Structure formats: C-alpha cells, structure tokens
Amino acid sequence: MNVGDVIASSSVKVERINLVMYAGASGDFNPIHWNETVATQVGLPDVIAHGMYTQAQLGRLLVEWLGDPGRIVSFSVRFSAPVVVPQDGGARLELQATVAAIDGDMITVALSATCDGVEVVKDAVATVRAA
C-alpha cells in the first residue's frame, strides 16, 4: 500500500425509505429528511439525506476495507453540500477512500463522497491502525 492508492470505493443508492429507516435508528425525525413539502418550504430543493447518514456510508466503506471497526482511531467529516433525494429514482452517493499518509502502523485515509458530481463532504479523514 502506498500514498495515493485508492483502497476502497462504492456506489450507494439512497432512497427515501433509507432516510426513514435512518430516522428511526438515529431518532432524527426532522421532516426535511422525509417530507418534500416541509423541505421545500424551508428553501431546500427537495428532501435531503441526514448528514450523518452520509458519514455512516463512509464509515461502512472504511469498515468493509478494514474488516475490524476497532482499528479506527479517529474519523471526521465536514459536510459541504446536501444529498438531495428525489421521490422518483432517489440519489446515488459515490464514495472513495484513498491513502493520504502512512506513519509507522498508522494510516491516514482521505474519504470522499459525491452526489451528481457535487462533493457533499470536505476534509473527510480517518486515521486507522494497520493490520
């Protein structure tokens, strides 16, 4: 493994049912995540995914690559754009993890998520222990 290597990537379809299930799991029932009328009334283009739902998808990508969530030392994300989830067709998240640095047994992983070609996270990074 070398700096710059893409170590994992995934394409995730996001539908409104996923947001309703996430709301139940997280307790975040803000209607902007499931009700188009409310979302548009507050100025959003449509229903949007929970930011933490997007982060969870990045976390899943990372854990699938690692095989052991206990190897994650730190994980942070800054959200930069909403993931708009239309009723018809949903949205698609494109996820990628790239080796940013290696320092002994610690690996810094840069994470990216885009939707319709727009970066929806910035400065997403995880530090993990090598196997």
Which pLDDT tens digit goes with each residue over 81-90?
999 999 999 9
pTM: 0.92
pLDDT of amino acid 131: 84
pLDDT of amino acid 22: 96
Q: pLDDT band for 100, please (50, 70, 90 cuts).
A: very high
DSSP state of 71: G
pLDDT of amino acid 11: 98
Domains, the chain, with CATH or none: 6-14+48-129 (3.10.129.10)
The total number of residues shown for the chain amounts to 131
Mean pLDDT of all residues in 103-129: 97
**Over the chain, what is the mean pLDDT?**
96
What are the phi and psi torsion angles at 66 (to 5°)? -70, -40
Beta carbons of 82 and 52 less than 8 angstroms apart: no
Counting runs of H as helices and runs of E as strands, what totals does the chain give?
A: 3, 6
For residue 122, how far is the Cα from the chain centroid? 11
